Structure 1
């Protein structure tokens, strides 16, 4: 067996990257199985406080769970928004992030595809 077979790179069929603050990034990837089926990986990547790499947590979501997962996620978010913190401005961080992106674009140091940051889900060796 080839020593590199355990490090097999799995390419995404579709990928989104969402920055969440200065230290946290979320990756939403659609991947293909050997049997030509699809599943989603949700990855949270957090830069370690000591600056020595990233800590990652991954969830695998399969098609038979898509509808129930989305329904439960929406129900949970709605519960927080409507019952626990109805007065909170949930659009605050969206506005702040858009302002940050505009500021970075004006400074010429930000790109929408995230290429200014080396860390990507594809760089992760599991």
Structure 2
């Protein structure tokens, strides 16, 4: 489990932060506290990016269906419902994935890593939606 967490954190740190020149808590992770700090940072960053991807998608819908308020409203409602259900599934999946983690920092690190991974995946999906 620990190896999976380290590999996941490395992938997240590289993928989500490779273009950033600023130092992050994911630089030079060498101990459990730094691992926890990186996981929390990754989760926070991934959730912020998820919110931005969702907001961008809603804006693309408004642009695509300009002047068609009924379509904008209907599709926006469907997307909001889908996002709510997806978050419930993400949270349930992460509860399964972290089932054996011991309460405390190890659990929190695993939970944050899982939520960050799922949120990154969802952001990519939302960005890929090509409404036409």
The answer to which structure, 1 or 2, has the higher relative contact order (CA under 8 A, 6+ apart) is 2
* TM-score, reference length from structure 2: 0.30
* TM-score, reference length from structure 1: 0.31
Higher helix proportion (structure 1 or 2): 2
Higher strand proportion (structure 1 or 2): 1
